[in-house]
Amino acid sequence: MASIYYYRWRRTKSHIMAALCFASALIALIPLFLIFYYTMSKGLSSINWSFFTQMPKPAGETGGGMANALIGTGILIAIGSSIGLPVGILAGIYLSAHRTTLFSRIVRFLTEVLNGIPSIVIGVVAYILVVIPMKRFSALAGGVSLGILMIPLVTRTAEEMLNLIPQSYREASLGLGISRWKTTLFVILPAAFKGIFTGILLSIARAAGETAPLLFTALGNRFWSTQLDQPIASLTVFIYDYSKAPFDDWNRQAWAAALVLIVLVMLINIIFRIVTRKRYA
């Protein structure tokens, strides 16, 4: 009865393949847990109050903190948001209002293209646009690069979240004689606010985690600086510099800064997921 054996073989093969698929899910999750484990175990010991409030110490001395990098990242994100949010939200409103025209198809496609452009290339563009004319590295240049980076993320979230609002909202508002722009601004936008807001947080988290575009725009700074026309420190460049340094204490601080970054990014991501899941349901 060869057919029985053949059937058994087919069944066994099916089980083997299912087990392999399960295994690949497990294999992918191991590095995730390893990364969490190492940032926790190596970073936690260096996290204390002075890490957030003090300035970096000179090379060779232990201790010190990354207060300037925290402020720097904050300033860079503020500049980036002031560019990325208005452009992204308004372009998103346009795309959501005109879903099928040729122009909005082109813009939608270019948003995807912009999203796929490596962040280091965006850094080069910000270098050409801001650093060369100003003749020096500056917080402004770093902020511009983060702003360009945020535009496609914000545009897409704004469009998607606005599209989720039922068409009947718009119809009801127009039916009451309210003009289109007031309908969009005061009916549709508030209804989509929660989704757009968390989407904005998500793009801020992404910008906060970027290093490559800052390397030759904001450059980094070991001293306290809040001036927009001067090089400025950031959390990610701090991690990069400290990870390459030959001092154990600096390496530990790099892990600690990575822990701060990862906690921030993960929190925002999980909040985003909870909020959008409720929306979809």
Partner 1 sequence: MISSTEEEIPNITSDAAKSSSLSGLLKPGGKNLGDFIFENTTRLFAFLVLSLVLLMAYEMFTKSLPSINRFGWSFISSSTWDPVHDQFGALPFIFGTLFSSLIGLMIALPLSVGIAIFLSELCPQWLEHPVSLLVELLAAIPSIVYGLFGIFVMTPWLRDTVEPFLGDHLGFIPLFTGPPYGFGMLAAGLILSLMILPIIASISRDVMKAIPGSLREAAFALGATKWEAIKIVLSGSKSGILGATLLGLGRAVGETMAVTMVIGNRPSISFSLFDPGHTMASVLANEFTEATSELYTSSLIEIALLLFILTIVLNAAARFIVWSVTKKYQAEY
Is 133 a binder of partner 1 (CB under 8 A)? Answer: no
The structure tokens listed for 275 are 């909020």
| CB closer to partner 1 out of 49 and 134 | 134
DSSP three-state, residue 64? strand
Report, in Å, the least distance between residue 132 CB and partner 1: 8
Name the minimum Å distance from CB 44 to partner 1: 15
**Contact between 263 and partner 1 per CB under 8 A:** no
Find the part of the chain contacting partner 1 (CB under 8 A) among 45-53, 55-63, 192-200, 203-211: 203-211
Q: Which residues contact 203 (CB under 8 A, 6 or more apart)?
A: 84, 88, 150, 153, 154, 157
The SS3 assignment for 176 reads coil
Return the residue of 47, 70, 95, 204 that touches partner 1, per CB under 8 A. Answer: 95
Q: Which is nearer to partner 1, 49 or 234 (CB)?
A: 234
Between 182 and 278, CB nearer to partner 1: 182
Buried-state track 168-205, b at ≥16 Cβ within 10 A, e below 16: eebeebeeeeeeeeebbeebbbebbeebbebbbbbbbb
Lay out the site mask for partner 1 across 169-188 (x = CB under 8 A, - = otherwise): --x--x----xxxx-xx---
Site for partner 1 in 43-82 (CB under 8 A): none
Q: How far is the CB of 78 from partner 1 (least distance, A)?
A: 19
Of residues 49 and 261, the one with the C-beta less far from partner 1: 261
Tell me whether residue 49 or residue 130 sits nearer to partner 1 (CB atom): 130
Q: Quick one: which segment of 22-30, 56-64, 186-194, 222-230 binds partner 1 (CB under 8 A)?
A: 22-30
Q: Rounded to an integer, what distance in angstroms lies between the CA atom of residue 124 and that of residue 236?
A: 18
CB of 86 to partner 1, least distance (A): 7
CA nearest to 202, candidates 153, 167, 253, 252: 153
Answer yes or no: are the C-beta atoms of 194 and 279 closer than 8 Å.
yes
CB 227 to partner 1: min, Å: 20
HEC string of 69-81 equals: HHHHHHHHHHHHH
Q: Of all helices (H) and strands (E), which one includes residue 109?
A: helix 102-116
Enumerate residues 217-246 that contact partner 1 by CB under 8 A: 219, 236, 239-240, 243-244
> Residue 230 contacts by C-beta under 8 Å, 6 or more apart in sequence?
136, 138, 139, 221
> Of 67, 71, 78, 87, which one interacts with partner 1 (CB under 8 A)?
87
Tell me, by CB under 8 A, how many residues bind partner 1.
90
